[in-house]
Every structure is written in structure tokens, then in C-alpha cells.
Structure 1
């Protein structure tokens, strides 16, 4: 639940929806042993690629390897993983007690004072381990100032992308990770279903969003809101700032997710409120439903991720949409990677050559948008298995049964 939602008693639709739900049992979080195994695998990859060390600053990847959940600021906190031996954590002196509470793997915590250079600690450590002359890998979201300042400390050290280490690991989920993602998806669809059952004319998008947030929290998920797009706003994939109030016959697009022990869901449902859909609304909904099935059929082990998007776009163009990303039609990619972050590499987008492999997880959301009228988006996530893709949540059968 967001801070704003948790600071005040629930009321109206939010309170009504939350009262109707019962908290769910959750799977256990990632263990220390699994994080240690991740570090050992990272070291194997570093050695295979002739790299001396990996640096990962605050963010999802720091959590992935160490359990440390920390924000980014001008004061860096990072893990430095050498090709051999235990890693170190670099953090400000006054943050050490907090970092130590979260640390779940064997690692020395080295601190720096406010008037000291934190990247000197990194440079000294690389020298100690005898890898200062080897390339140092950086996680892809590390900020520029870290590499810039490390280069000043170690002018002869080449800094390279760590994608072949971090991305290669995080893209392929373990059974434990998949179980957490399944729980998050189950919570999100249950929250959506309950809110949908309580909708009434005159409700605002913000009121509906608050109800989704409350329902998600009640069920045990950690959510930070949802998109509630009503009427013409549903034709804008990420919505409009204009206020909208629910009325009979409106197209309503719900898009949101939550996390369970750090692992994410992402689901969209579109329906018509309080009236039978028009012929055009039904037609477009059915086409998007078909688009999801086309995407799933194209998602085969060994296929390029971009081929999934291409398969959908070919069908849409044959139905008169596009061409390509033009409107009316599908103006965004067919899907994105998902895991510890709602959006993470790689995407189901034209030109993406990464091969699909078991353990990879994606959203499947080939919406169709008619500017000035309405948009339809159905979004369910799936994970790859040796036998092909498998849904976390099953798409609804029809616009008349938007939640099955």
C-alpha cells in the first residue's frame, strides 16, 4: 500500500472492497543460500569472460545478490564482487548499521566518511585482489559518475558492460522466483476482480485506484497504485491527467500490479461498464484477445524475442491497423520482461534478437488503440518452460466475462 493510502482510514469503495477480502498465505522469500548461489554463479561468469570484478549499486540487482534494499542518492552504496573470494559492500559510515541489518550474504562492509572518495575503496579492493588490471564489469543501470570516478582512481582499468553476468542471471528465474511472481499475479487479478464487482456510476478514477491499492494490500501484496483509464482516456496507453467519472457504457481499462517479497506482477483488463458493448468495442476486444494468443503461439524456446512482436503486428496489419507502430493500432511493444522490476530486459519488440529460453518471464499486452474513441488492452504475464510458454494468469474468454 502506498504511504498516502496507509496514513488514513479507508473509506468508500476502498474500505468496502478490502473488507470483502481475506489475506492470502504467501510463499517464502528468497533465502540467503539462493543469494550466495547467485554470487557464485556470477563469479563463474566473471572468470569465463576474463573479468576481474562486478560492481552493482543500489537497486534491484543489489537486492538480487545481497538482500540489501537501498535507494539511490549522491552517496553510493554498492556491492563489489571479485572473480574469486567474498565480495565487499561499500557504503557511507553512518549507514553501516542499516546495511548490516539487511545483508544476507558473507561480505565485508567497508565504509567511507563524508569527506572521502567511496570509489577509492573500490579501487583499493581491486588492487588487493590482484584484479585491478583486468576489466571491471558494471551493472547496466549504474550511474555514470561511478565509472567516471573509478577511472580516476584506476586509469588503466577498462570498465565494461556487466550484462553477460547480471542480465544473463536475472533474466532466467528460479522455481522460487516463479512462485513469488505467481503469488503476485494471483493477488493482482483477485484485487481487480473484487473492485470490478463493486463499481458504481459516478466513481472517479482515483477512487477506483484507491480501491485496487487497498484490495492488493489486504491480500498481502505490496502495490503502489494502478492505472484506471475511463472512456477516451483508454485510447492513451498510460492515460490522461483529465478527471474522468464512471458512466454507463464507458470503456474501462485497469492496469496494475504488485510485488510479493520483491517479485512483480503486471495485468490489464478492459471492459464496458453497465451496458452491452457496441459492435465496434466487441470487435476490437476480440482482436486484442486474438493478438494475445498469436503472441503466445510465437513465444517458443529458441525464437528471437522480437519475433513475438512481429507475429502480432503482421496480424494487426492484415486487419487494417498500423502499419508498424502507427495508430489506430498497437503503438507500443507487445510485451516486456518482468521479475524483480515491473519492466526489465528484454522486451518483446521488433528487432530484439535475444533468444527465448526457459525461465524467462514476459508480459503479453498487444493492445489496440483508436484515438478519440477508446482503447483495449489485455495483459497477462507468462514464463517460458522447456515445453513452451505458460501463463501466470489466463486471459478472460470474452468482453462479457472480463474476469473469467
Structure 2
């Protein structure tokens, strides 16, 4: 882990260098996690253009609608010393940017989440320039978390753990998934999140659908229930943790499945260390699940990076050649899903450290059997 690029001004300097090193003339960043990372400004995604302009050979500047300029100046971006340029309702913000970027720019990059209408407008304003995606450049800046970012993720993990520890208050026979999910969503905010990002409550056969979310299905005694929840804290960092519960004694076949899953997830979290590749970490759990006869029922990757977004680099997946490095944070969430019957998933956020790995979700991983 490193403390470099802790301050947005340092991040902007690195972004400018990365733009040049990638052979780009300018990078254009619209509202979203990339903009927040580089400037601290959590801009609203509007039909009016908001865009950070990072030329390779000149100072960065931020273009915002006039009605948003006070908010931009009051945000951390206002303390960066960069020019924050406002424009009026009848002004052409794209032409404004085209006039200010270095003459002769032929290759510009846009963040991966820029709206298509805005990319097309930039292409019209810069007809001689070639657009490319900035995702590779920006992900390299964000992929290694510094100590402050890890601390923020640790706090987010502790907050979502507090919600999981209360699950016995809400999960019981006779309640619907939707009723339980509402209680969980309220608790996510109470636990210290600024907003709820997702709540999955998948009971009985619904647990075999990894992204089921919620329905009006009534929870029955003996049901396994997959609960996958996450939110975003005030500083912008995300939580994400899955535990699988049983409401009353589950079927014996489910206990057998769960023990296999627990062995796989535990082995994967214990294997985190620098130098292990994404595909190697994925294979550790997948091989255990396959050897037990459930291989065809582990239908997704092992995990995803996490930070200012719930899903970002690195992805822990078969075929991933990237080696883990200190500061990389990601989920480890193998699952086994039997269609029409039940499913289970265990998910922790882990951070690769200089000497191994740190698990940021600390609730127990053994199957919790609630009163049924």
C-alpha cells in the first residue's frame, strides 16, 4: 500500500502524466467515480455538460454549467487551484473546450461512463481527433488503494457487518423478502452509509439466482436465504458483503453444499498475497467446488474490485493474468446455485497487503441458523 496520490492535486498530476504516457493529447472526464477520484467533486450527472479536461501538456480545468459553478467551487475541486469555467444556457460547452485544448490534439480519451450523446458532441467539436476510452488509464490510477482509502473501505466493511449482525431481527417465517429488504435498507443507512446501493434477499429457490434482489415470496421455515447488501459511505467508498442464512433447520443437502462453499471461500481469502494472479485465486475456490461435484453450479467470477464504485478493477476471474499488488481491494464471493432448489454465496472484501491479505468483513462465515 502507498500513500501516494492521497490528495486530489497529486492525483491530477499523475493523471496528466498518465495521459501523456498513454500517447493521448487530452483526457475528458464526466461526472462519476473518476471525476470524484481526481477532484473530490461529486458532480450531478446532468444533460448539461460537466467535464474535467486533462491535457497532456497544459493545466487541467473543469467546465461546469453556470448554475453548478458555486457547488463546484465549494467542493474539494475549488481548493485545487484549477480553473473552474462556467457556461451559460445558450453557450456551446463543447466548442468552449475545443478552443481551450492544445492546438493539434489528435487523440482524446473519454471516461468509460460518459454518456453517448456527450461523446458524439465532442466528436463533432473535434472532427479531426480520434476518441478512445480512458478506462485503462484511469483504472491504473485507482486500482491500488492508499492507506486512507483502505481505512475508508475498512470503515465501510465494519458498517455493513453491523447490519449482518442484526439479521435475526428481520429474517423469520411469514415475512416476505420485500419486507425484510426494507428493514435492511433502513439499517444500512443507520449503520453509517450515506446511501443504499443494493439489497438482495433471496429465499429458498430464489437463492439460485445470484442477482435475484427481492420479491413478494414469503419466507418459510427451513429456507436458506442469501443476503447480499452494500452501500456507499459519506466519503464515497463502498461496502459489499454476502452471508447466507437458514431460517430454521435447512435440508441436509444444503448443509453439505454450504460446507463445500465455506471451504472454498476460506481457502481463497487465505491465499491472497502479492504475486498471485486473478485466475490463480479464482481457481483455488473453483477447484474445491468442482471436485465436490458442484462445478457447473458456480456460474460467475470469484470477485470484483471495490472502492469508489462497487464494481471496478481488478476482477478475480478465470483467464485474468494480472498479479495482485499491495493496495488492491476486491471481493471474494464464490457461490453455488442449484436451479429451482436453493443457492448459497459467501462474500468478503479483501485487501492485498505487503505480506498477504486482510479481510475487511469480520462477521462469522459459518452457516447461521435463525429461529424458524
TM-score by length of 2: 0.90
1:214 maps onto 2:190 in alignment: no
Q: Which runs of 5+ in 1 are unaligned?
A: 1-29
Shift of 1:288: 1.0
Instruction: Give the structure with the higher percent strand.
Output: 2
User: Equivalent residue for 2:11?
Assistant: 38
State the distance in 2 between where 1:297 and 1:46 align.
37
Among candidates 330, 333, 336, match of residue 368 of structure 1: 336
1:113 maps onto 2:85 in alignment: no
Among candidates 139, 146, 154, match of residue 174 of structure 1: 146
Q: Is the 8 A contact 1:195 1:208 kept in 2?
A: no
1:277 maps onto 2:250 in alignment: yes
User: Equivalent residue for 2:324?
Assistant: 356
Secondary structure of the residue that 1:263 maps to in structure 2? coil
1:103-155 CA distances to partner (integer Å, 9 max, x unpaired)?
A: 4322212233333322112211113xx5x435323222223333333233233
State the distance in 2 between where 1:49 and 1:344 align.
20
Q: How many residue pairs align between the two structures? A: 363
How has the CA–CA distance of structure 1 residues 236 and 293 changed in structure 2, closer, same or farther, with 3 Å as cutoff? same
Secondary structure of the residue that 2:284 maps to in structure 1? helix
Secondary structure of the residue that 2:101 maps to in structure 1? helix
Secondary structure of the residue that 2:286 maps to in structure 1? helix
How has the CA–CA distance of structure 1 residues 33 and 253 changed in structure 2, closer, same or farther, with 3 Å as cutoff? closer
How has the CA–CA distance of structure 1 residues 163 and 116 changed in structure 2, closer, same or farther, with 3 Å as cutoff? same
1:38-57 CA distances to partner (integer Å, 9 max, x unpaired)?
A: 11111222233333222110
1:204-258 CA distances to partner (integer Å, 9 max, x unpaired)?
A: 2222222222222222222325111111111111116641222321111111012
Among candidates 396, 399, 404, match of residue 364 of structure 2: 396
How has the CA–CA distance of structure 1 residues 397 and 97 changed in structure 2, closer, same or farther, with 3 Å as cutoff? closer
Shift of 1:96: 1.9
Among candidates 236, 258, 280, match of residue 262 of structure 1: 236
Mean CA deviation greater in 183-192 or 219-228: 219-228
State the distance in 2 between where 1:80 and 1:392 align.
35
**Superposition map of 1:170-319 within 5 A:** 170-224=142-196, 225-239=198-212, 242-260=215-233, 261-273=235-247, 275-319=248-292
Shift of 1:356: 1.6
State the distance in 2 between where 1:144 and 1:353 align.
31
Among candidates 302, 309, 326, match of residue 341 of structure 1: 309
1:11-30 CA distances to partner (integer Å, 9 max, x unpaired)?
A: xxxxxxxxxxxxxxxxxxx9
How has the CA–CA distance of structure 1 residues 175 and 300 changed in structure 2, closer, same or farther, with 3 Å as cutoff? same
Q: Which runs of 5+ in 2 are unaligned?
A: none
Shift of 1:382: 0.3
1:137 maps onto 2:137 in alignment: no
State the distance in 2 between where 1:222 and 1:103 align.
18
State the distance in 2 between where 1:66 and 1:118 align.
20
Secondary structure of the residue that 1:207 maps to in structure 2? helix
State the distance in 1 between where 2:346 and 2:88 align.
50
Q: Is the 8 A contact 2:202 2:214 kept in 1?
A: no
Q: Is the 8 A contact 1:110 1:121 kept in 2?
A: no
